[in-house]
Amino acid sequence: MNDNLNNKNLAENIKQWGLDLGFDAVGISNIDFDHQKDLYQDWLSQGYQGEMQYLERHKNIKFDPKKLLDGAQSIISVRLDYLPLEKNTLDAIKQKDRAYIARYTLGRDYHKVLRNKLKQFVKKLESELQPREIKARVFTDSAPVLEVEAAKKSGLGWRGKHTLLLNKDHGSWFFLGEIYINQKLHEDKQDSDHCGTCSACIDICPTGAILGPYKLDARKCISYLTIEHKTSIPVEYRKKIGNRIYGCDDCQIICPWNKYAKLAREKDFHVKNNLDQISLIDCFELNEEQFKSLFQGSAIYRIGHEQWLRNVAVALGNAPKSEHVINVLKSRLESASDLLKEHILWAIEQHN
């Protein structure tokens, strides 16, 4: 009984240290994910992962946390809110001459922000838990970790039908991160599902990527098509992409639970360079140097200039018809790679 109590107190202290470091929530779970294995394998068998072959390659590591940290016994999951803007409606997607960039990437690259914070958390654990020998490893979207499942098990929320983690008081506009640790810690209780009969996220998805509750065909998701998919964007999705040039938020914008989401406290996630207002033409006119300098320290940097232009070309094809847009598109034709040229020609065709 006393051991139990001590363990519970220790877990409470750990969670408080995480909150003191600026995380918005902290929860603890064990490392057993066997219940998800078949679902995950079924998903892969359908080919829903598209070009993200790492999801297949690393699947065994994903289900065995000890492969990432020898001696792992518990997972500490963290939530960090990123919502940078008060007004999150579908209006921004209707302004077809402006670019829509997913809300999670209007500020600094979250990988860097979360990693730094998680490392500080580990330092705190090492110093507070002495003389125990602490072995720990931090992750955020950087390794084969079942992040949503770990967070769900640790009581940070439930999985929405769009597959993201949702929280009753904070919606879903947040990142997840984890610490694998070689200590057996007191586990939190899982939250129950509060989606009920709502299917707003499934209905709103412009490309029908959410095939049914908890089942996403990534190959159709605009987030995948604009970020992870490196080759030609299938023509059938180009019109549906609208002005979304990096990521997509429709399934989160429409979710009723997101009316409870709070603005990010983390300043690094606030809008930089007016990216929420930028015009498609300004995006297309960036040369490689300007692209690199504008997106230094942002997750957008990683897609590179060519893929950026590919995405903007598609959005310009969906912009209101104008001679100016056609001229701007044509101005890049000569120097464009085959991949880009094909998207530019498609875009010009939409204006004729």
In the complex, minimum distance from the CB of residue 3 to ligand SF4, in angstroms, rounded to a whole number: 45
Query: What is the DSSP track for 79-128?
Result: EEE----S--STHHHH-TTB-EE-GGGSSS-HHHHHHHHHHHHHHHHHHH
Choice from 175, 180, 237, 291 touching ligand B12 (CB under 6 A): 175
H helices, E strands: number in the chain:
16, 10
Preceding peptide of 320 cis, ω within 30°? no
Q: Which pairing describes strands 25-29 and 74-81: parallel, antiparallel, or unpaired?
A: antiparallel
Q: Which stretch binds ligand SF4 (CB under 6 A): 48-56, 85-93, 169-177, 247-255?
A: 247-255
Q: Which stretch binds ligand B12 (CB under 6 A): 138-146, 255-263, 310-318, 319-327?
A: 138-146
Decide if 141 is catalytic: yes
In the complex, minimum distance from the CB of residue 206 to ligand SF4, in angstroms, rounded to a whole number: 6
Q: Is 170 in the site for ligand B12 (CB under 6 A)?
A: no
Q: Is 227 in the site for ligand SF4 (CB under 6 A)?
A: no
Stretch 30-69 residues interacting with ligand B12 (CB under 6 A): 36, 39-40, 43, 52, 55
Q: Is 223 in the site for ligand SF4 (CB under 6 A)?
A: yes
Q: Is 72 in the site for ligand SF4 (CB under 6 A)?
A: no
What track of x and - describes contact with ligand B12 for positions 187 through 206 (by CB under 6 A)? --------------------
Residue 335: strand, helix, or coil: coil
Stretch 217-246 residues interacting with ligand B12 (CB under 6 A): 218, 221, 223-224, 228
Helix (H) or strand (E) holding 245: strand 244-246
Tokens matching residue 328: 């701007």
Residue 62 CA to residue 67 CA, distance in Å, equals: 8
- Residues with catalytic annotation? 141
